[in-house]
Amino acid sequence: MRTDWLCVGGKKKVNSILYADIVGFTAISSTYSAQDLVKILNELFARFDRLAEKYQQLRIKILGDCYYCISGAPVERPDHAVLCVHMGLSMVKAIKYVQQKTNSPVDMRVGIHTGAVLAGILGQRQWQFDVYSKDVELANKMESSGKAGRVHLSEKTLSFLNGEFEVEPAYGEKREEALRIAGLKTYFITKVVKPVS
């Protein structure tokens, strides 16, 4: 691993950033014990971590029922956006495990944006690695303004996909003020044209 990328204070890189959230999590959290819920989430996030390894993602953090990762760092890759979309589509499929386990209509909402991030380690005793930037915030807004079972991406991410996916307009900029202010049009993935090799 390139350690120059993991420095206190951080370095700016262009990456694709993925946020994913479990839709319907509140419903299952009220019907399962904390112990059972932790088991279910642990299995799901372990699946996500295996997918992250497969699709060259760096998991940044798990926050409750939210999972976020980036592609393109610490190893730079020209296909970071393509890999992020494949990751998102695979996450939507992986949530079927929780649907079956809980017999609940839970789903995944995935948002992806591409841009510069500042990555670094914070703290003196309990170090914490994280990524920061306006583009990270926009990726979060891509997730929150998306729809269950869909991968929602910005036009910036679309510009890195090289025609490997078919898309349709998602109009996220009409649902989320931050996207409108940033002047971002948004899209949903509808079809994989070129499967990942």
Q: What share of the chain is helix, strand, coil (3-state, %, to 5)?
A: 40, 30, 30
Active-site residue, selected from the candidate residues 17, 28, 60, 65: 65
Structure tokens at 82: 């393509």
| 79 classed as catalytic | no
Active-site residue, selected from the candidate residues 17, 22, 40, 95: 22
CA 59 to chain centre: 9
Q: Please give the Cα distance from 145 to 173 (Å, whole number).
A: 8
DSSP, collapsed to helix, strand or coil, labels residue 152 as strand
| 22 classed as catalytic | yes
Q: Please give the Cα distance from 142 to 85 (Å, whole number).
A: 13
Active-site residue, selected from the candidate residues 21, 79, 107, 135: 21
The full DSSP string for 107-145 is: EEEEEEEEEEEEEEEE-SSS-EEEEESHHHHHHHHHHHT
| 28 classed as catalytic | no
Q: Which residues pair with 116 in a beta bridge?
A: 14
What Cα–Cα distance (Å) separates residue 184 from each residue in 113, 138, 155, 160, 169?
Answer: 10, 9, 6, 15, 12
Burial code (b: 16+ CB inside 10 Å, e: under 16) for 119-152 equals: bbeeeeeeeeeebebebbebbbbbbbbbebebbb
Which residues are part of the catalytic machinery?
21-22, 65
